[in-house]
Amino acid sequence: MTAKLILGTEIREVILKEIEEEVKEIKAKYGKVPGLVTILVGSNPASVSYVTLKIQTAQRLGFHEVQDTRPENMSEAELLALIDKYNKDDLIHGILVQLPLPKHIDEKKVLNAIDPDKDVDGFHPINVGRLMIGGSEVKFPPCTPAGIQELIVRSGVPTDGAEVVVVGRSNIVGKPIAVMMMQKGPGANATVTVVHTATKDLAFHCKRADILIVAAGVPGLVKPEWIKPGACVIDVGVNRVGEKISEKTGKKVPILRGDVDFEAAKEIAGWITPVPGGVGPMTITMLMKNTLKSLKYKLGLM
């Protein structure tokens, strides 16, 4: 069997087009556009490139976009005051603080200071609670899990009553996607198992999965013989396993590998995401979707 590829690069374009259309409609009717501020403290190269991508995507969609870059030595109190300013800014509907923050700043304190109604990353405890309750309580599902669910649904993978196995229990991927897939409702309603480093027999659980979601950060952890024939395999892992020279730019770029042995797994699975080009492109897309949702809540459209 050769699996159907689930390409985040393609699904992203469809969703971005939908967002762009909706932004135009809302602008024409209400004279408002979604506003997103990206706060970057310091100049960590990986953070700078993530933030640049977010800004470019927001601009492409016609958002009001603010990039607020501050020096590495900014104090925690100054950052909290800045967040307070954006919490009160009516043109801003989404506040994103790029992580990691410098060591002298308490990340938890900063994330908790964001108005939960502008927390488009979905990391504030109030939004985590809303996600757990499910249904119409959910305002901003965290972006990577929301992207995973979109990939599954838009690829026509049946979820109702499916056995979903999630490898990993992090707060940003494993736990939220497990909660989302077990909720009652479309695109979910699955029977979910979460496995981690204390799990006795990883292979046993993976082999039972109709949908296997792997977010461990261990290259090639999932072996092809652990995959049930015809299963949907979502590989969230992004692992740098070396460097190569880019044909496009002539510069050194990282060689990325997922948590699944892709070449062998694609001959067994029914659907599979590649790395890169699978889950990765969905995260920023869902951030944009959450920012648009935030404006729609404000306008009473949701």
Q: How far apart are CA 198 and CA 178, in angstroms?
A: 17
Active-site hit among 118, 119, 121, 235: 121
Beta strands per DSSP E along 186-269 = 191-195, 211-214, 232-235, 239-245, 252-257
| Catalytic residue list contains 98 | yes
Identify the burial level of 193 via C-beta atoms within 10 angstroms of its C-beta, where 0-12 means exposed, 13-18 middle and 19 or more buried: middle
Closer Cβ to ligand NAP, 89 or 107, answer by number: 107
| Least CB distance to ligand NAP at residue 93 (A) | 22
- Return the number of other C-beta atoms located less than 10 Å from residue 107's C-beta: 15
Can the peptide bond before residue 100 be classed as cis, meaning omega within 30 degrees of 0?
A: yes
| Catalytic residue list contains 121 | yes
- Please report which helix (H) or strand (E) contains residue 202, including its range: helix 202-207
Closer Cβ to ligand NAP, 236 or 292, answer by number: 236
Here's the x/- map for ligand NAP, 175-214, by CB under 6 A: it reads as: --------------------xxxx---x------------
Active-site hit among 4, 24, 90, 98: 98
Q: Would you count residue 220 as binding ligand NAP (CB under 6 A)?
A: no
Among 23, 58, 221, 269, binds ligand NAP (CB under 6 A): 221
Q: Would you count residue 170 as binding ligand NAP (CB under 6 A)?
A: yes
| Least CB distance to ligand NAP at residue 56 (A) | 16
Q: Would you count residue 44 as binding ligand NAP (CB under 6 A)?
A: no
Residues in Cβ contact with 278 at an 8 Å cutoff, skipping those fewer than 6 apart:
6, 7, 8, 151, 234, 235, 258, 272
| Tokens linked to 244 | 């190569």
Closer Cβ to ligand NAP, 94 or 281, answer by number: 281
Site for ligand NAP in 226-265 (CB under 6 A): 236-239
- Kindly list the distances between the CA atom of residue 105 and the CA atoms of 40, 76, 287, in Å, as whole numbers in the listed order: 13, 5, 24
Q: How far apart are CA 125 and CA 59, in angstroms?
A: 29
| Catalytic residue list contains 183 | no
Give the footprint of ligand NAP on this chain (CB under 6 A).
144, 167-170, 172-174, 195-198, 202, 215-218, 221, 236-239, 279-280, 283
**Residues taking part in catalysis:** 54, 98, 121
